[in-house]
Structure 1
């Protein structure tokens, strides 16, 4: 299972020499999940991805395919020669929604194949592989919650006390990450520094929901609401429905409201989700993680001799063209 994430805090900082932006974010997974199943076949070659969402590419443009090919390569099993790998992806997380569904799918693919092939990679090793696929991928190896810095590669796990429910509201249209960064840049003359309050919590390893709710903010929200007025309308509706706080997640277009209990979240989902084109979900903020038992078929005995067990881990930083939309 591959959970969605929300950004409880998202500050977009300076642009780096490599074209990425540094960020400072408090991320948390929520209980809206995609599902992936893996099957190895010694009688075929290549990675074959099947998805129930016909709008998604299933070739090398998909982060799942990229992640699978990279794992096989680093395990000493090039996808075009060693064996066949079939992946079935059931999508529930909206696309281009600020919920990192594609990144979570990629992370779940790396973790699932690590288990299926018996590679023995640690979370840190899997995160370095994931970083080559996308900026948000490393976070999921340390979920459910973490402070994330750099372009996403600096991940410090944190613990949360207390429980909340979240209502996710997707307005029915995507917002492309690259455009969102360009839009944000066009609306501010300088990058504001972190506030003293955020600097004060930067070194913390534990939070309570009561601590975090007053701190929630997202640098993208006002810039995107100026061109997409419905985002502001949804936020106001969530607050009117009883949310303790409401915020844009990531670079949009999903907004979320934080609620104290399931009943109030359910009522808000029904109310705010009524408008045409919207999709709304009431989900828990418990420890959603893909690091549960994988839905996979074990490697066949005849394949055992072809699997490289515990290979030396090698990682080269990204260079050249990148499909990561955070680079501009």
Structure 2
């Protein structure tokens, strides 16, 4: 049996980490959305072996136990108590190590796909709890729709869809290690975000308030080591984006335009400064 699942990239419209737990893991408070830039995850179950294999068209990804899609298949295999093997092929479109949740979204796609193939009947909430054991972004990626995300990443509060927005996404040539950035957080000197204000603005369709309150607590930290982040952000704003900021731990930067023709203009202008530029729209995974 086989199935293909869409694995959308994510962006952080607001990102804050109020404190660090005693085990070293951050507490999160974020507004996240999915976009229509996506990987495609092809999953096939096998009865002739119990092995899990991962293949990809990207030369930048490990295909062993370090791969989050592999970890997701291993967990589902254990929960299903099956002797069937799994072959996974990742058709990568999301930039790697970019702060866009590509690995987490691939893992979420494997959880959703195997849940269907093996008729396990887990709810999305149950899959999100399983996903949290893999990475803090996996629970959101299980739902892949606008949400307020709190706790360690497992508390997902849905928000209104945002189809009317145009998003310009730019990935600098640098790659960023999320664990390295998280270890460098100095909680005594963090500037915190009005995450609830962003969520409220989305629910009230208040675009001016949303762009006014957007922000990423980690942007100053990552951009200290990767100055191209701020350069691209300034370019986006000068070219006409209504707001621009880093996503996740970086280095991807995105800008928002209400007007589609302006977003096209910003995208074309940015391509002179950055090789990986995408014009995308918000996306919501349907049940």
Please indicate, yes or no, whether the TM-score normalized by the shorter chain is above 0.5: yes
CA distance in 1 between counterparts of 2:54 and 2:222 reads 33
1:97 lines up with 2:98 in the alignment? yes
Aligned CA distance change for structure 1 residues 240 and 190 (closer, same or farther; 3 Å): closer
CA distance in 2 between counterparts of 1:265 and 1:203 reads 25
**1:239 match:** 237
1:71 lines up with 2:69 in the alignment? no
**1:281 match:** 278
Between 212-221 and 260-269, the greater mean CA deviation after superposition: 260-269
**2:132 match:** 131
**2:58 match:** 53
Between 55-64 and 207-216, the greater mean CA deviation after superposition: 207-216
1:222 lines up with 2:211 in the alignment? no
Q: Are the aligned partners of 2:15 and 2:216 in contact in 1 as well (CA < 8 Å)?
A: yes
1:22 lines up with 2:27 in the alignment? yes
CA distance in 1 between counterparts of 2:63 and 2:101 reads 17
1:177 lines up with 2:178 in the alignment? yes
Aligned residue pairs total 281
The structural deviation recorded for 1:39 is 1.2
Higher relative contact order (CA 8 A, sep 6+): 1
CA distance in 2 between counterparts of 1:92 and 1:66 reads 20
The structural deviation recorded for 1:125 is 0.8
**1:262 match:** 260
Greater gyration radius: 1
Query: What secondary structure, in the 3-state scheme, does the structure 1 residue paired with 2:244 have?
Result: strand
The structural deviation recorded for 1:161 is 5.2
Q: Are the aligned partners of 1:14 and 1:191 in contact in 2 as well (CA < 8 Å)?
A: no
The structural deviation recorded for 1:225 is 2.1
1:77-226 mapped onto 2 (5 Å cutoff): 77=82, 82-160=83-161, 163-185=164-186, 189-191=188-190, 198=195, 206-208=203-205, 210=207, 211-226=209-224
Q: TM-score, normalised by structure 1?
A: 0.80
CA distance in 2 between counterparts of 1:194 and 1:227 reads 21
**1:304 match:** none
Aligned CA distance change for structure 1 residues 207 and 105 (closer, same or farther; 3 Å): farther
Aligned CA distance change for structure 1 residues 222 and 205 (closer, same or farther; 3 Å): closer
CA distance in 2 between counterparts of 1:30 and 1:218 reads 18
Q: Are the aligned partners of 2:52 and 2:87 in contact in 1 as well (CA < 8 Å)?
A: yes
